[in-house]
Amino acid sequence: MTSEPTDLDYALLRRVARGDQAALAELIRRHQGRLYQVAYRLLKDPLEAEDALQEVFLKVYEHAHRFEPQATVSAWLHRITANHCLNLLRRRHPQESLDQEGAPSPADPGASPLQNLEEQELSRRLEQLLDALPENQRRALVLKRFAGLSYQEIGEEMGLSPQAVDGLLKRARQFLKKALQDYL
């Protein structure tokens, strides 16, 4: 395991704190792909995810001087992104988040219309169940599954031990498995 990416991220963030826009551009280039995945999975809309990321990087530029190296820069960026997106979701009308389908996924050309309908229903049900999870379980699950963070990184981001993250993820998976057993 090398410390170079973390060291480079720290150096970039220190330069951003001094107003260096080129450093911000490099930080964006290095992290925007993974952060977009987090934003997209939470917001379920590609344009909203892009807008949210622009707002996140504006916050990073304005608040880079507040970063305290207790966690990695990557974990800090993921925390800002997840918190920003969760705040956006909280402001939405509750019915709107259930009715929104996000980016349409292409239907399997070899599947029957009934199979496609069942897949769409399962997807809608899964979204409802994710919304029903306690916020800390949902956040841990999104960061693990869609952002690809390790238990350690999720723990750093959420202020928890890796064992606590493991417990959150187990409870979330048990809830989803039980609720989806009719589909499985």
- Could you tell me how far CA 115 lies from the centroid of its own chain? 29
Cβ distance 98 to 129 under 8 Å? no
The listed CATH number (1.10.1740.10, 1.10.3720.10, 2.60.120.10, 1.10.540.10) that belongs to domain 1-101: 1.10.1740.10
Find, among 72, 65, 57, 67, the residue nearest to 17 by Cα.
Answer: 65
Task: Give yes or no for a contact between 172 and 144, defined as CB atoms under 8 angstroms apart.
Answer: no
What residue ranges do the domains of the chain occupy? 1-101, 111-184
Model pLDDT, residue 109:
57
Q: In the structure encoding, which two tokens stand for residue 131, read together?
A: 């919304």
pLDDT score of 85: 86
The CATH architecture one would assign to domain 111-184 is Orthogonal Bundle (1.10)
Kindly give, in sequence order, each residue whose CB lies less than 8 Å from that of residue 161, ignoring residues fewer than 6 positions away.
155
Residue recorded with tokens 């987090």:
38
Q: What pLDDT is stored for residue 101 in this prediction?
A: 38
Q: Which residues contact 156 (CB under 8 A, 6 or more apart)?
A: 70, 71, 72, 75
Which residues are CB-neighbours of 20 under 8 A, at least 6 positions away?
none
Instruction: Give me the average pLDDT of each 10-residue run along the chain (184 residues).
Output: 65 94 95 90 89 94 84 82 82 47 46 68 75 83 77 83 94 88 70
pLDDT value at residue 105: 43
Residue 5: per-residue pLDDT: 56
**Please, are residues 67 and 73 in contact by the beta-carbon 8 Å criterion?**
yes
Residue-level pLDDT at 108: 52
**DSSP character at residue 71:** S
The confidence score (pLDDT) of residue 31 equals 93
pTM score, whole prediction: 0.58
Give the integer Cα–Cα distance in Å for 147 and 132.
Answer: 20
Cβ atoms of 51 and 30 within 8 Å: the answer is no
